Structure 1
């Protein structure tokens, strides 16, 4: 029996959106340095879409790694004004390293540690408790979308006031506003 007639079929492949974005060179991953916090002094890190970026930021995933022996509370904020002096992470790369040249993202990862005060304005959308010596991972499938000037931020507090250390990582894609 011959199966040559199957050659006339059209092949159709479905791929997840993050893979599609990566193939197009628009998916990025990165992390903060280790952030310190303690009683009354918090830490934060997040994705910041610059004012003149001309792209929308799609948050796909984030992780919070708690290196401490006590739990940490992570508050997820949309578009807050934050205390402290931020530093910009250079621990960022396109997910598709087979493309040349590698394109830098418009979005920046910024963070601050040992800050006094709380976020102002913005919206605290939800909270997570990160157990000691563990990593909390969340896949958001690009459903959180931020235009230029928008920000997705993880604000960290200690639960019992003791010193803690954490690291934040993000996966996101960017799309031109005019597309």
Structure 2
């Protein structure tokens, strides 16, 4: 079944019943997941992973869920930044997947999942929105329900470090779930968020 058929069948129904937003976006083929694995940090270095919304993506990024897990050797700190520039690093890109595998062709995310390990320095610019600290073997997770909204050119970054035990090396992973909402050109010629 292609996306157009899905939208014709399900969109009127989904807008009239109480459906979790994640399910609604997944049925439309707009919900994606991905993770950055083997993020190494410690020994006076940090690691980061982010959802980067390219300037020409044509979509609004809605961050739904994030998870930090697998940090086993040290207490760690996770800083959450909006629209910051990460320290200079060897940036890698992680594969992502739509959660609705019944849509054909499979949708491709426009938002990119980027990450880097063993970086020195701190993010610059942007907003450090919140910080979480955790003990080894602890999973940090939060469901944002799409309320973190990032325009093209922006990003949502998780920055990991071990300030309490900087001499220890450790590793972990960061996972994200998000949906993408198309923008359109309004009468003013400017990009605007599409209303449902």
TM-score (structure 1 length as normaliser): 0.90
CA RMSD of aligned residues (A): 1.1
Structure 2 counterparts to residues 69-148 of structure 1, below 5 A: 69-83=73-87, 84-90=89-95, 92-148=96-152
Structure 2: stretches of 5+ with no match in the other structure: 1-15, 185-193
Paired with 1:31 and 1:108, the residues of 2 have a C-alpha distance of: 11
State how far apart, in whole Å, the 2-side matches of 1:70 and 1:156 are. Answer: 11
Show the counterpart of 1:6: none
The structure whose Rg is larger is: 1
Match of 1:65 among 69, 93, 101: 69
**Which residue number in structure 2 is paired with residue 177 of structure 1?**
183
- C-alpha change, 1:66 and 1:33, in structure 2 (3 Å) is closer
Match of 2:58?
54
Asked if 1 retains the 8 angstrom alpha-carbon contact of 2:80 and 2:130, the reply is yes
User: Across the two proteins, how many residue pairs are aligned to each other?
Assistant: 167
CA shift at 1:134, angstroms?
A: 2.3
Describe the SS at the equivalent of 2:37: coil
Is contact 2:73–2:169 with CA below 8 Å preserved after alignment? no
- 1:16, distance to aligned residue in structure 2 (A): 0.6
User: TM-score, structure 2 length as denominator?
Assistant: 0.82
Find 1:21's aligned residue among 13, 22, 25. 25
Contact kept? 1:66, 1:130, Cα under 8 Å: no
Deviation digits for residues 105-133 of structure 1 (CA, Å, limit 9, x no counterpart): 00000000000111011111110013211
Aligned position for 2:43: 39
SS of alignment partner, residue 20 of structure 1: helix
Where structure 1 has 5 or more consecutive residues not aligned to the other structure, the ranges are 1-11
Which of 1 and 2 has higher RCO (CA within 8 Å, sep 6+)?
Answer: 1
SS at match of 1:138: strand
Deviation at 1:139, TM superposition (A): 0.1
Moved over 4 A (4+): none
